[in-house]
């Protein structure tokens, strides 16, 4: 089974500051990687995904993430935080191996982002 580690269950930044949310994964087969965002009282929305094309992936709302195979990381960044970015963020990795779990997503525990004015 795959595993995903999100370092820091809570991250607080000031409006305008850099946002950095960390994600490390374990996978024996090159995976697909995802960041989802959950706004209060809403479902999960795809922010961006890595599918073995460019290692730097751009998503919605100014977010981007870089796939680093040597570090098994897929950290999410945004140069300048906005109040509307306050939400919970989940990193997920797909199982691209063989067997009955092919295509299954494994989620990290989430990081709650707070943006201060």
Partner 1 sequence: EAQVTQNPRYLITVTGKKLTVTCSQNMNHEYMSWYRQDPGLGLRQIYYSMNVEVTDKGDVPEGYKVSRKEKRNFPLILESPSPNQTSLYFCASRTSGGTYEQYFGPGTRLTVT
Question: Which residues sit at the interface with partner 1, rule CB under 8 A?
Answer: 9, 32, 34, 36, 42-46, 49, 51, 90, 94, 96, 100, 103-105, 107-110
Query: What letter would DSSP give residue 80?
Result: S
d(CA 52, CA 82): 29
d(CA 112, CA 49): 19
Q: Which is nearer to partner 1, 63 or 90 (CB)?
A: 90
| Least separation in angstroms between CB 11 and partner 1 | 15
| Least separation in angstroms between CB 18 and partner 1 | 24
Q: Which is nearer to partner 1, 7 or 32 (CB)?
A: 32
Angle at 20 between CA 18 and CA 25, to 5 degrees: 165
């Amino acid at each position: 089974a795959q595993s995903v580690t999100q370092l820091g269950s809570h991250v607080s930044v000031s409006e305008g500051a850099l946002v950095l949310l960390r994600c490390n994964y374990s996978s024996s087969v090159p995976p697909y990687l995802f960041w989802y965002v959950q706004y209060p009282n809403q479902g999960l929305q795809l922010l961006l995904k890595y599918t073995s094309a460019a290692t730097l992936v751009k998503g919605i709302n100014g977010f981007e993430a870089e796939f680093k195979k040597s570090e098994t990381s897929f950290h999410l960044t945004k140069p300048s935080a906005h109040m509307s970015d306050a939400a919970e963020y989940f990193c997920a990795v797909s199982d691209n191996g063989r067997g009955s779990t092919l295509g299954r997503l494994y989620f990290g525990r989430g990081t709650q982002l707070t943006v201060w004015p």
